[in-house]
């Protein structure tokens, strides 16, 4: 069954290796692509994620700057920090890690990032370009999913894709991207959510299922057809005293149950996560090329 499991780490490494030529060309001009990650508060998952981003930057030869601020950092102070990063020429990409403390508005904060440095692809200008099918920065996780499908030889064109979840980070942008007449897209897309009357009826018709619903092991074997491709975006912490840490991590898909019926399936961890970081590197290099000419 191992040949069915999609190795997101290996694909991500291939993509990062593919950035070396651009990084070397920029270095010849005295430019090192620079990424600044701002972390406000002490959310454990965010700390791990930002740390992994910094390690990935160092490995591929990017400049990385992690800026940590306490949970009581004010919105005004954060705005001032982001505007300073907008002005710094050695910083080509900026991300403000979610979640932010409740007293800071995430949508408002995204608006403060220079769209030319918005390597997360969340600024309304970049989102608008995406909807219009125009060049811009695409959100890292949706872009990583499309690149992952491309690398394993699965073309969504003409296929029925069911996305579980309509969040702003994955579900909505991914649906908009897969509907475009782009290579590796041009699919018939259904988005399921809490208002969907019969989710299982939709998933059983799917050629490709992308689960980003935030519910542990939501997709079960009875909800899929034989030969389906399953991309599991979920990362759920489930408390269980039987485990040494008192919990375990699983996706939105019953991996063991669905594995026999699926033609390809991503594990959690090791599937989509590494692709998200790889696409962040990709967007940062693109930003450096565009900004420095």
Catalytic residue among 16, 53, 112, 117: 53
Distance of CA 118 to the CA centre of its chain: 14
- Whether 80 is catalytic is no
Catalytic residue among 16, 112, 118, 120: 120
State the pLDDT at residue 42: 86
State the pLDDT at residue 102: 94
Question: Mean pLDDT, consecutive 10-residue segments, the chain of 293 residues?
Answer: 90 96 96 96 82 89 95 96 97 94 93 97 96 93 98 97 96 97 96 97 98 97 98 92 89 97 96 96 97 91
Q: Could you tell me if 138 and 155 are in contact, meaning their C-beta atoms sit under 8 angstroms apart?
A: no
Does domain 29-114 fall under CATH 3.30.2290.10? My reply is: no
- Whether 97 is catalytic is yes
Measured CA to CA in angstroms, residue 200 lies from 94, 153, 161, 211, 248 at distances of: 39, 26, 14, 12, 26
- State whether residue 163 is helix, strand or coil: strand
Parse the chain into domains and list their residue ranges.
29-114, 140-273
Among 214, 209, 144, 143, which residue's Cα sits nearest to residue 176? 143
Q: Which CATH class is domain 140-273?
A: alpha beta
29-114 and 140-273: identical CATH topology: yes
State the pLDDT at residue 201: 98
Q: Could you tell me if 265 and 6 are in contact, meaning their C-beta atoms sit under 8 angstroms apart?
A: yes
Give the integer Cα–Cα distance in Å for 271 and 227: 18
145-154: burial string, b at 16+ Cβ within 10 Å, e else? bbbbbebeeb
User: H/E element holding 46?
Assistant: helix 44-60
Distance of CA 223 to the CA centre of its chain: 25
Catalytic residue among 16, 97, 172, 232: 97
Among 2, 13, 3, which residue's Cα sits nearest to residue 275? 13
State the pLDDT at residue 202: 98
Following DSSP, what letter does each residue of 81-122 receive, concatenated?
HHHHHHH-TT--EEEEPSPPPTTS-HHHHHHHS-GGG-TT--
Among 216, 205, 200, 206, which residue's Cα sits nearest to residue 178? 206
Measured CA to CA in angstroms, residue 217 lies from 109, 221, 250 at distances of: 33, 10, 7
Classify strands 247-250 and 208-211 as parallel, antiparallel or unpaired: unpaired
- Whether 53 is catalytic is yes
């Amino acid at each position: 069954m191992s040949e069915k499991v999609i190795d997101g780490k290996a694909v991500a490494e291939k993509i990062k290796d593919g950035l070396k030529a651009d990084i070397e060309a920029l270095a010849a001009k005295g430019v090192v692509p620079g990424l600044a990650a701002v972390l406000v508060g002490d959310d454990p998952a965010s700390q791990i994620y930002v740390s992994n981003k910094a390690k990935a930057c160092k490995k591929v030869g990017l400049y990385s700057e992690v800026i940590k601020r306490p949970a009581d950092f004010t919105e005004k102070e954060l705005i001032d920090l982001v505007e300073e990063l907008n002005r710094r020429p050695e910083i080509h990409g900026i991300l403000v890690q979610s979640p932010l403390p409740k007293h800071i508005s995430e949508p408002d904060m995204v608006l403060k990032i220079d769209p030319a440095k918005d390597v997360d692809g969340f600024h309304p200008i970049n989102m608008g370009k995406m909807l219009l099918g125009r060049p811009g920065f695409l959100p890292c996780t949706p872009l990583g999913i499309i690149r992952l499908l491309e690398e394993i030889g699965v073309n969504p064109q003409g296929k029925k894709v069911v996305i579980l979840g309509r969040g702003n980070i994955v579900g909505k942008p991914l649906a908009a991207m897969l509907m475009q007449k782009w290579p590796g897209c041009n699919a018939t897309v259904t988005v399921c959510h809490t208002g969907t009357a019969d989710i299982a009826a939709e998933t059983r018709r799917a050629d490709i299922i992308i689960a980003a619903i935030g519910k542990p092991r939501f997709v079960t074997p009875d909800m899929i057809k034989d030969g389906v491709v399953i991309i599991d975006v979920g990362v759920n912490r489930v408390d269980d005293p039987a485990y040494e840490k008192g919990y375990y991590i699983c996706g939105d898909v019953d991996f063991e149950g669905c594995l026999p019926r699926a033609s390809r399936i991503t594990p959690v961890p090791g599937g989509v996560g590494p692709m998200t970081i790889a696409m962040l590197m990709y967007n940062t290099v693109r930003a450096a090329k565009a900004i420095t000419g």
